[in-house]
């Protein structure tokens, strides 16, 4: 059974940091490019960051460049998102996604709230 389980979300003050994790199972994790998406109330779901299968290449939305870092540990079947210098506009539900060919898998999401 395919599973993607996000964790690490929570309430943080502006300027703070969080590290999100996505634990994968039920498919060949190392063969799938991975990504993080987020969706805030009243807004469309947007791509935040993406990473290639071995972690050799990454890309980011302009709004998070220089603040967020995507990484993966294929031996642990886990995807990460390090989030620094958080802003209120980063408040959203963050989702982990695996996509290879016609196979697409999504996690359940984890809430990140940036507020003072």
Give the pLDDT of residue 33.
98
pLDDT tens figures, 68-106: 999 999 999 999 999 999 999 999 999 999 999 999 999
Q: Which residues, including other chains, have CB under 8 Å from residue 82's CB and lie 6 or more apart?
A: 17, 19, 68, 69, 70, 71
Give the pLDDT of residue 108.
97
Give the pLDDT of residue 95.
98
Give the pLDDT of residue 5.
98
Q: Which residues, including other chains, have CB under 8 Å from residue 17's CB and lie 6 or more apart?
A: 82, 83, 84, 85, 86
- Mean pLDDT across 51-62: 97
Give the pLDDT of residue 111.
98
Collapsed DSSP state (helix, strand, coil) of residue 90: helix
pLDDT tens figures, 30-55: 999 999 999 999 999 999 999 999 99
């Amino acid at each position: 059974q395919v599973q993607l389980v996000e964790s690490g979300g929570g309430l943080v003050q502006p300027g703070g940091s969080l590290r999100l994790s996505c634990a994968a199972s039920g498919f060949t994790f190392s063969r799938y490019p991975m990504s993080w998406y987020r969706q805030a109330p009243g807004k469309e779901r947007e791509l935040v960051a993406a990473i290639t299968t071995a972690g050799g290449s990454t890309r980011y939305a302009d709004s998070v460049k220089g603040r967020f870092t995507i990484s993966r540990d294929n031996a642990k079947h886990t995807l990460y998102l390090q989030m620094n210098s958080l802003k209120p506009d980063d408040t959203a539900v963050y989702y982990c996604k695996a996509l290879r060919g016609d196979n697409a898998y999504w996690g359940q999401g984890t809430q990140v709230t940036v507020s003072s």
